[in-house]
Amino acid sequence: MKAAFEKTSGWLDWYANPSKPRFKLPEDAVDAHCHVFGPGAEFPYAPVRKYTPCDASKQQLHALRGHLGFARNVVVQATCHGADNRAMIDALVHSGGRARGVATVKRDIGDAEFEAMHDQGVRGVRFNFVRRLVDFTPRDELMEIAGRIKKLGWHVVIYFEAPDLPELWDFFSALPTTVVVDHMGRPDVSKPVDGPEFELFVRFMREHPNVWCKATCPERMSISGPPALDGERNAYRDVAPFARRIVETFPDRVLWGTDWPHPNLKGHMPDDGLLVDFIPHIAVTGELQRKLLVDNPLRLYWPEERR
C-alpha cells in the first residue's frame, strides 16, 4: 500500500500513509469532492495559476478510495489546471465507471465538447469566486454557461467565502440548475454557529431548494485543528457544529468528500483516515450517514442507478 501513496516533493505534500478510519463507511459510499493533479509531465498545469501542487495521480486517488473504504469518487477540477480538464477526465475514463466529474469551462466551449464530456462522466461545472484562487469571470459568461449545461442535466458547483455571500446572493439565486456549494460557503468557525454570518448561509439554503452543500473541509476552517498525537481521533471539533447543523437541517441536500490531495493547504496536511472519522460527528445517525454518503451523491451523480 505504501508504494501506491508515494508522492512527489515540493509544495506542501499530501499525507503519504493515511490511517485506516475507525468509522466504517456504508456500502457504496461516495467521496464527492476530490481532485487529481497531473502528473505534470503528462497533463501540464495551467500556465496562469495561483499555486503549483505536487503530482497526485488517478492511480493514487483510486488507491486511496479503496484504502478508506469508498466505492466511488467525484473528481472536481482544481484551479491549478485551469479550464484544461484532461487530467480530471482521464481519471474518470480509467475508473471503470466509479468516478464522475465536475469541469471548469470557458464560454467558447462547443456543444460537441460538452456532449463528449458527458459521455466521459462529467456532470457539472464549477464556478469559483475565491479571489486568492481565480481571476474575475464576468457574470454574464457564467450565466450563459449555466443555461447551456442545464440542457445536459448538469449542475453548477460554486466556491466562495462567507463574507462574499451577500454580494453574490442575487447571482446565485438566478442560476437555473441545481447548485452545490463547496465547503459550506467557508464559514469563519470562530464565530457562533447561530450568529448572523452562518444564519445567512442557512437562510440561503432554506430559501433555495435547488441549493445543495458539501459538509467538507474541516481541516481548512478549523482553528482547534487536528488532534494532538495522543491517539485521540476526534479532530476539528470547532467545525463539527457547523457541519452538523447543515446535515441535520438539509439531510437530503448534503454531500461529503475528502478534498484529497488538499490543494493549496497551508499549515498542516490532514490524515484522510482522520477526516473519515469526522463523519459520525456531523452525521450522527445511520440514516443521516446513508443520505450524506450514498443516497444524495448517487441521486446527483448516478441518477440512472436510482434504487
| Residues classed as catalytic | 259
Q: Does 12 bind ligand 0GY (CB under 6 A)?
A: no
Write out the three cell numbers for 300: 446527483
Binding to ligand 0GY, residues 115-154 (CB under 6 A): 133
Shortest Cβ 183–ligand 0GY spacing (Å):
6
Shortest Cβ 286–ligand 0GY spacing (Å):
28
Q: Which is nearer to ligand 0GY, 269 or 284 (CB)?
A: 269
Q: Which is nearer to ligand 0GY, 182 or 295 (CB)?
A: 182
Number of Cβ within a 10 Å radius of residue 292: 26
| Secondary structure class of 51 (helix, strand, coil) | coil
Cα separation of 156 and 125, whole Å? Answer: 5
Residues 6 or more apart whose CB falls under 8 angstroms from that of 151 comprise none
Contact letters (x/-) for ligand 0GY, 183-222, by CB under 6 A?
-------------------------------------x--
Residue with cell 499525507: 15
Contact letters (x/-) for ligand 0GY, 241-280, by CB under 6 A?
------------------x---xx----------------
Check if the beta carbon of residue 168 is closer than 8 Å to that of residue 129.
Answer: yes
Q: Which is nearer to ligand 0GY, 78 or 184 (CB)?
A: 78
Shortest Cβ 246–ligand 0GY spacing (Å):
16
Contact letters (x/-) for ligand 0GY, 73-112, by CB under 6 A?
-----xxx--------------------------------
Cα separation of 132 and 116, whole Å? Answer: 31
| Secondary structure class of 126 (helix, strand, coil) | strand
Cα separation of 79 and 193, whole Å? Answer: 29
DSSP lists the bridge partners of residue 242 as none
Shortest Cβ 263–ligand 0GY spacing (Å):
4
Check if the beta carbon of residue 215 is closer than 8 Å to that of residue 275.
Answer: no
Binding to ligand 0GY, residues 19-38 (CB under 6 A): none
Check if the beta carbon of residue 181 is closer than 8 Å to that of residue 216.
Answer: no
Q: Does 182 bind ligand 0GY (CB under 6 A)?
A: yes
Using DSSP bridges, classify how beta strands 179-181 and 254-255 pair: parallel, antiparallel or unpaired. Answer: unpaired
Number of residues counted as binding ligand 0GY (CB under 6 A): 9
Residue ranges in contact with ligand 0GY by CB under 6 A:
78-80, 133, 182, 220, 259, 263-264
